[in-house]
Amino acid sequence: MKTAGGSDAAKRRAGERGAEEVEDGFVVGLGTGSTTAYAIEAIGRAAEDGLEVRGIPTSFQSRQLALEVGIPLASLDAVDGIDLAIDGADQVDDDGNLIKGGGAAHAREKIVDSAADRFVVVADPSKRTATLDRSVPLEVLPDAHTVVADRVRELEGDPTLRDAERKDGPVVTDNGNLVLDCVFGRIDDPDALATALSRIPGVVEHGLFVDLADATYVGTDDGVDALEY
């Protein structure tokens, strides 16, 4: 689920700083969400000015926006590699571990972000935390949602099926699956929880991104804080 915090100006600064890393000839992973949207728009402007770039979208939303702003698209199986991925986050800890999936796009995001030579996170200050403690989204196969929920409870988590806002019933992901938002409280060992969640049959992907980010750009009131890991 999304947080309400973070000004548009801070998101814009972060997103545009991320886009500055794109070089001529790059294949770029295009993340999902309101902060990454500023990066995609900036890459679109650069492409219009002659920068050669190809984008790999991580969601229906990022694909649509990339098409609108004129970024040529490619698919993962049609490129030799990804030079850079730019993506948002719902929470970032001091080591650069993330909780993602507020937009239910974390399965494709994790594939693209982890395949990139460099993965930069773009965020506003409300996303920073010393220790991860937001709910962790799990994308689950529809038939498996009750059994996955039972397994989450065995791990002392509290799962809730994510409801859609302008549709009756649950959120359905771009991949046709459901989302369980799972509260674990303070997550002192994200790696151990990530491993335990990955072992549950029926979980397509979870929103813990452990040791994947290379840097975070945090947009502030008057600039950008760059954190390298």
Q: Which residues are catalytic?
A: 109
Q: How far is the CB of 175 from ligand 5RP (least distance, A)?
A: 12
Q: Which is nearer to ligand 5RP, 31 or 44 (CB)?
A: 31
Binding-site member from 22, 27, 32, 135 for ligand 5RP (CB under 6 A): 32
Q: Does 18 bind ligand 5RP (CB under 6 A)?
A: no
End-to-end CA distance of the chain: 26
Cβ atoms within 10 Å of 32's Cβ, excluding its own = 29
- Report the run of H or E that residue 227 belongs to, with start and end: strand 224-228
Binding-site member from 18, 22, 29, 31 for ligand 5RP (CB under 6 A): 31
> What is d(CA 126, CA 118) in angstroms, rounded to the nearest whole number?
23
- Strand-strand pairing, 91-92 and 136-140: unpaired
- Report the run of H or E that residue 216 belongs to, with start and end: strand 215-219
Q: Which is nearer to ligand 5RP, 18 or 44 (CB)?
A: 18
Q: Are 173 and 179 in contact (CB under 8 A)?
A: yes
Radius of gyration of the chain measured on its C-alpha atoms: 17
Binding-site member from 29, 33, 55, 96 for ligand 5RP (CB under 6 A): 33
Q: How far is the CB of 6 from ligand 5RP (least distance, A)?
A: 6
For residue 214 the two structure tokens come to 């290379």
Q: How far is the CB of 88 from ligand 5RP (least distance, A)?
A: 3
Q: 34 to 53, contacts with ligand 5RP by CB under 6 A?
A: 34-35
Binding-site member from 103, 157, 190, 219 for ligand 5RP (CB under 6 A): 103
> What is d(CA 97, CA 91) in angstroms, rounded to the nearest whole number?
8
Q: 55 to 94, contacts with ligand 5RP by CB under 6 A?
A: 87-90
Q: Does 205 bind ligand 5RP (CB under 6 A)?
A: no
> What is d(CA 65, CA 62) in angstroms, rounded to the nearest whole number?
5
Q: Which is nearer to ligand 5RP, 146 or 160 (CB)?
A: 160
Q: How far is the CB of 102 from ligand 5RP (least distance, A)?
A: 3
Looking at 20-28, 33-41, 112-120, 144-152, which segment touches ligand 5RP (CB under 6 A)?
A: 33-41
Q: In what order do the strands lie in the sheet with 98-99?
A: 91-92, 98-99, 208-209
> What is d(CA 157, CA 140) in angstroms, rounded to the nearest whole number?
15
Q: Which is nearer to ligand 5RP, 37 or 144 (CB)?
A: 37
Binding site for ligand 5RP (CB under 6 A): 2, 31-35, 87-90, 100-106, 109
